[in-house]
Amino acid sequence: MNIAAETHGFLSPTGVEIAFLLVGLLTLGAAVITVTTRQLVHAALWLVVALGGLAVEYLLLTAEFIAWVQVLIYVGSVVVLLLFGLMLTRAPIGRSPDADSGNRPVALAVALVAASALVWVVVDAFRTTVIDLDGAAQGSTRLSGSILFRHWVLPFEALSVLLLAALVGAIALSRRNAAADARATDREENR
């Protein structure tokens, strides 16, 4: 066996690590555009790119089941729910002055502190961990299902209730606006 292959280190990245880094940069860029754009529909579409990039990252980590769950639940359901919410509430399609609260410096400071804390925790926790891509798959359906339904049932169900509440709220807002528009139209016709 080649000595260079045996002494794999930080300065000799493999193709998978390079792909992981490139997809990560693309995902980060899409996430930044998602939160900085002033057009709500564009933000939703860039969110699709960011969540799709996360699914590719899961594939590169040999967690195929989690990647498909990411695509089906987040890219498929959450983004469609968000777009339906935008359509049902008659949100503006173009630039929206209401989308900017004027707190960008504070939001940027909070985001930088949160990102640096997250990077610190992840680097500290996985400093010496090496993923063996040639070994058994760590993201298998059996292992992922066991962990999900043994340790993460409550957050999983809380997320489903949150999504249901968002859908019901969007429908309630759209019906209230439709009723108000109908009353306004009736008043104008009666004059």
pLDDT per residue as tens digits for the range 99-136: 567 777 888 899 899 989 989 998 888 888 776 666 55
CA 62 to chain centre: 19
Longest dimension (CA), the chain: 90
Q: What is the pTM of this model?
A: 0.58
HEC states along 47-75? HHHHHHHHHHHHHHCCCHHHHHHHHHHHH
Six-digit token string for 98: 């209401």
pLDDT of 26 reads 96
Q: What is the 3-state secondary structure (H, E, C) of 67-114?
A: HHHHHHHHHHHHHHHHHHHHHHCCCCCCECHHHCCCCHHHHHHHHHHH
Q: Mean per-residue pLDDT for 133-141?
A: 63
- Distinct helix (H) and strand (E) counts, the chain: 8, 0
What pLDDT digit, counting tens, does each position of 7-65 carry?
Answer: 555 556 788 889 999 999 999 999 999 888 877 778 888 989 999 999 999 999 888 88
The arithmetic mean of pLDDT across residues 64-90, rounded, is: 79
